[in-house]
Structures are given as C-alpha cells and as structure tokens.
Amino acid sequence: MSDLAVGILGGAGRMGRALVRAVTEAKGCHVIGAVDAPGNPEFGKDLGVLAGIDPLGTVLTDDVRALFQKADVIIDFTIPRVTAANARIAAETGTAYVVGTTGLEPEQQAVIAEAGTRAVVVQAANFSLGVNLTIALTRRLAEVLDDSFDIEIVEMHHRHKVDAPSGTALALGRAAAEGRGVSLEHVADRGRDGITGARKRGHIGFGVLRGGNVAGDHTVIFAADDERIELSHKAGDRIIFARGAVHAALWTAGKPAGYYTMQDVLKL
C-alpha cells in the first residue's frame, strides 16, 4: 500500500512548518504539497527548507483546489473563514480533511460538519494525545463530582494567539458540561471584571492568560470546600499538535465519509 499523500494548508506559518516536519518524520505518509494565502513572500521556496529540514523537492504555492485534488488528506490549521471555504472544497473533492483551526463561528462550524456527509472530516480543538486524555478525564470527573465542586479552567498561550478562550479550553469546558449533563452555553462564565457577585453554583469559569511564546498550558480545577483536584497539561512545543494531526491524517485512510473527532481516533 502506497504512502498517504498529505497536503498542508498555511504551509508558511509556524504550525504549517511544524506539520511539514511531522509528516516527514512519520511512517506511512509524505508531503504532497502545501499552500498559503496569495501574496505570501515565501512562494516558490522548498517546503523542507521552510521547515528547517532537508529539501523535499516540493514548493509552496497558492493553488488550494489543485492541492485538494492530488492529496489523499489535507491538514488545515489556518483561520476560520479560510477553513470554512476549504471545507466546501473537501466536500466537492471527497478529500479527507483534518481540521485544527479554532475560533470558528457557529455558521462556519456548520459548514465543516456538513462536509462530513461527503468526506472524512476529523476535527479537534487540540490534537495532542495528552490533551485528549485530559478532556476524557475531565468529563469523567465531572460525572462523578457533584456541583459542590466548582469548575474553573485556566489557559495560557503565546502573545500572538487571537482567540480567547482557547479552543482547547472550550473543549475542556464542553467535556465538563457533558459530564454534568448541562449545556456549556448556559453555565459558562467567560469573563469576570468589577463587582460580579458571588460565584454561581454549577457554573464553569474560564481564565485567560497571554504572553511570551507559551505553546499552550491548560488546567481544569475542581474546587470544593477543603479539597481541590487539578488536571493540567503543558505543551512545550507545537510539534506535539502537529504529530497528533498527522496521526489523525493516517487514521482517515479507508474510513467512510463522516464527521469524527480526536476522541474517535484515539478510541476515547
């Protein structure tokens, strides 16, 4: 069986370059190409050189549709409006599509879910194995502990991150809400400032920090009177997210069209 041909969107960005390295390191796949937004000054440069590894003989372009047509699977860590447009192309071409973009609006998310009726779509707020285990543990703890345990989620990322709370923090919040049998939208406290009054029982709070080059730190706190449980995951480098996305890309081979998550990939 031939190696899986992987295409990368946003190939000139920090995550795109990490994905090129991760695909090159993995067995059973190879980089077929990468694209970026029109006007990028890196166009025409070898993808391996851009990623800081040996030349791959493939250069960065802006022809998205051509990449979808020749790739077995596409990995997308770009921005919401671009990802929604790319999801429509995935649906048209039937190309497997791995989505790590965060900060999506409901209508953009709906487009991605719809693409799953015509192609294999794997979406996750975070592709790290450790983070997905933390999500599963958060759901289980929320099932076991009643609302005498207050739930707070604290996250920190690098100064360049544009969305808050992070997609991973929201995924942790959804897992906690699912464990409690409630909707996160009804119990989330996403910002506190000034005289807010006492904490509402059963609510899930979020704290957001930004600074430096932090790849991603997340802590879920279950706090009751006289005891506290904390689940933490700290990412040292974004390569862990790239490796997880490549794992998901390899998993798509031979799967029927459908919308999947990293929890499906890892059988959690």
Whether 70 sits among the annotated catalytic residues: the reply is no
| CA 217 – CA 160 distance, rounded (Å) | 15
Catalytic residue among 157, 218, 233, 247: 157
Whether 30 sits among the annotated catalytic residues: the reply is no
Catalytic residue among 30, 45, 70, 161: 161
| CA 252 – CA 98 distance, rounded (Å) | 9
Cβ(109)–Cβ(81) under 8 Å?
A: no
Q: How far lies 95's CA from each of 9, 34, 72, 221, 248, in Å?
A: 13, 15, 6, 39, 14
> Catalytic residue positions?
157, 161
